Amino acid sequence: MNKTAMEELTRQLLVEIGENPGREGLRNTPERVAESWAFLTRGYHQDVQEVVQSAIFEVEANHMVIVKDIEIYSLCEHHLLPFFGRCHIGYIPKGKVFGVSKLARLADIFARRLQLQERLTNQIARVMMDALAPEGVGVVIEARHLCMMMRGVEKQNSCMVTSAMLGSFHDSIATRNEFLQLIGHEARGV
């Protein structure tokens, strides 16, 4: 990212909304905004395969593994406003597992890009499935979107839930229900 260009764009934005970028409270804002955007979009500069390959361990395990309540923060690609919430990842290994902290890093790499929650959920599940070849993978994300809370319909208490179920999590109602119950989401119907 060109920090100087981002700073100039921020100055121009301040002028366009009717502000004076030279006033005391805004003098350093362009620099702060450029640094903030570099941090918030750092996922574009992280190598998913490098994180994944350094975290796979061979283990004789065939039981469900779940990491729940992984905090995620992302930016809606439609309005460039934040959305944030919790990600739950579960899988049934077939001889290979991920280091537990790498699941959170995987979620963060994809979240730290301009995103749609639906895509984010699928990206995490697909990388898990491709890297480990487990029996199945389930990913559920619950998030609040400021683009829906602060503007537009202004629904402050809304929460979007997305899921990606692959392999046995898709094919087996029992496996899917076990996962949903363990993360605190009761399955409804068949």
> How much is the pTM?
0.92
Domain spans of the chain? Answer: 3-40, 55-182
Q: What is the pLDDT along the chain (190 residues), one digit of tens a residue?
A: 899 999 999 999 999 999 999 999 999 999 999 999 999 999 999 999 998 888 899 988 889 999 999 999 999 999 999 999 999 999 999 999 999 899 999 999 999 999 999 999 999 999 999 999 999 999 999 999 999 898 888 888 899 999 999 999 999 999 999 999 999 986 554 4
- Looking at domain 3-40, its CATH class is mainly alpha
Give residue 187's pLDDT. Answer: 56
Give residue 45's pLDDT. Answer: 95
Beta strands in 93-190 (DSSP E): 96-98, 114-115, 136-145, 160-167
- Residue 40 parent element (H or E): helix 29-40
Q: What CATH number has the domain spanning 55-182? A: 3.30.1130.10
Give residue 190's pLDDT. Answer: 40
Q: Tell me how many degrees the CA angle 74-79-84 measures, rounded to the nearest 5.
A: 25
